[in-house]
A and B are shown apart, each in its own frame.
Chain A
Amino acid sequence: MTTKDLNPPSRRLRRRGTAAPYIFLTPGVLLYVCFLLVPIVYSIYLSFQGLRLVSGGAFGHRQSTFIGLENYATAVTDAEFLGGFRRLAIYGIIAVPLTLGLALLFALLLDLGSARAKRFSRTAIFIPYAVPGVVASLMWGFMYLPATSPFSYITEKLGWGTIPFLQNPEIFSSVANIAIWSGVGFNMIILYTSLRGIPADILDSARIDGANEWQIATRIKIPLVAPALVLTGLFALIGTLQVYGEPTTLRPMTSAITQTWVPLMTIYRDAFTLDDLPLAAASSVVLALGTLVVSVILLRLTQKRAFGED
């Protein structure tokens, strides 16, 4: 684990006057400014604008003017936008803990000396990472459709009828399942790598002291990989807040997913179907701020400095 022995800041080069770091940073900073900073500033500017009728000429004309927080007021009182957050919460409460829980379970089992067929399982569980969310939704969507579902095939043969995967309220678990399927493998690999980094002598001395594998897992391994858990949790949460492709892909197959099912779908509709760009910009800012707040709360709650740097 080379990443552990990081050079302390004091040992970094102190070279006055060299232009080298600025030259190395130029492309990154330039792209950052063009594709992150400017769009953020532009979004914020746009979110304070609105089309208003301005008197002038015979009929007056619509002109973009500063309207203060009006778009924000519209966004945070919009039942569809808020409903999207409520649906997102239900979906997230199912998807995030299960993704992380299963990833941790599989990682701990892979790390266990006694399990067999580990290489095969690890590779198989990791494969969904290579499948785009849209393609995953397409495959699962067909596996949910009564006519092509292998699960409904079995329940029908048993005389229980088809499983209503694509109806309310099952749709929440069905969309969450796609995220879990896509996310477990990647998180498992991160946690597994982290487990492999635990010094062997800590585990050996615990075993000599008579600890069983369950105690070793819950009292030593999990606390030691807690930082990796926080980071995977953070990314799972950020990923949840920007879910878009999966429900959008499932839409042609079900009426349970509306045009405004999650916040990003509402933003997309406002921007491109209703042509209300300022409102979409305000909603985007709300979503981005929400993500930042949730991330900071998570980092605070866990008391781990996930990005603890100088």
Chain B
Amino acid sequence: MMNTDFRGARHATPLLAKAVPTAVLLVGAFYCLVPVAWVLAASSKSRSQLFTTFTLAPGTGLADNLQNLFAYGDGQYGKWALNSLLYAGVGAVLSMIVSTMSGYALAKYRFRGSSVVFFAILGGVLLPGITLAIPQYLLMSKIGIAGSVWSVLLPSIISPFGIYLSRVYAMAAVPTETMEAARLDGASELRMFRSIAMPMMVPGMVTVFMLQFVGVWNNFLLPFIMLSDQDRYPITVGLYTLLSKGSGEPALYSLAIIGSALSIIPLVLLLLFLQRFWRMDLISGGLKG
């Protein structure tokens, strides 16, 4: 960067100008990593070490804790992890497809009712989705699917924000000229979407997928309300049950801690991996439409 040339004259201490911002950023990084360090240290402690040794010092009970965690309730933790993966993975893939199709239609076609649909979507963005969880539960009870996998999966597919972002991305990334040329060549509308628009929309799709995956993975109230069978719980609800039972049964504290530590590792890895592909300017730049 050339800017130091201009700043040199104004700042007598360029070292300070470098050190202070770096130090502030490192303090922020430290703040964000402390709980992660704590949970990793705590998950290696045996039950007696948890409340007696220095809280950030590693213990000697990691193997035992892991064994206890996977033995708990006939391997319930493994089921919870798979359930989370199912709800978030399948939910986010379907959500991405539905959002891409809807966003593309709203961005690239003019048709009767398009503005009604668009404003309905915007209203949906502002509506706190969580306030819908109870009526969704009641309606699903009526048709008899409350408590099933579907009751968590189906509401996770619709994402007004995902549709909104897909529309923004389709407007920017799919040139109308290309579509017109393809149309003149006799391509069908469906083929045009599949072979021309979709490949151009991939970065936007990755972004929508990632936002929805994290959103569903982190969701607590919806599965908490919908599900009663512990074997269908996602990790968030499962860990909560361990913790709330823990006050009567302290052994479960260790399980909740190691369960938390394990559950954040795959998601952190996924985010670090996807970080290279997504387009966050979709969210920040989406305002300028």
Contacts and interface: CB of A to CB of B under 8 A. Distances in A.
A270 to B, nearest CB: 9
Which one of A20, A42, A123 has the greatest number of beta carbons of chain B within 10 Å? A20
Interface stretch (A52-60, A88-96, A113-121): A113-121
Contacts of B38: 139, 142-143, 150
Contacts, number: 356
Given A28-B158, A309-B118, A114 B138 contact: no
A140 interface: yes
A93 B207 CA distance: 30
Contacts of B104: 24
A147 B28 contact: no
B105 A25 contact: yes
B55 A153 contact: yes
Nearest to A27: B98
B270 A20 contact: no
A199 interface: no
Interface band, chain B? 35 or more
Main secondary structure of the interface of B (DSSP, over half): helix
A171 B26 CA distance: 27
Interface residues of A, number: 125
9 contacts: A7-B176, A21-B111, A39-B139, A114-B14, A125-B32, A130-B267, A135-B260, A210-B10, A306-B287
Given A7-B176, A184-B32, 6 more contacts: A117-B22, A131-B264, A150-B38, A194-B284, A268-B134, A309-B118
Interface of B: 1, 3-4, 6-7, 10-11, 14, 17-18, 21-22, 24-26, 28-36, 38-39, 42, 50-51, 54-56, 97-99, 101-102, 104-111, 114-115, 117-118, 120-122, 124-132, 134-136, 138-139, 154-155, 157-158, 160, 163-164, 168-169, 171-173, 175-176, 179-180, 189-190, 193, 214, 217-218, 220-221, 225, 235-237, 239-240, 243-244, 246-247, 253, 256-257, 260, 263-264, 267-268, 270-272, 275, 279-289
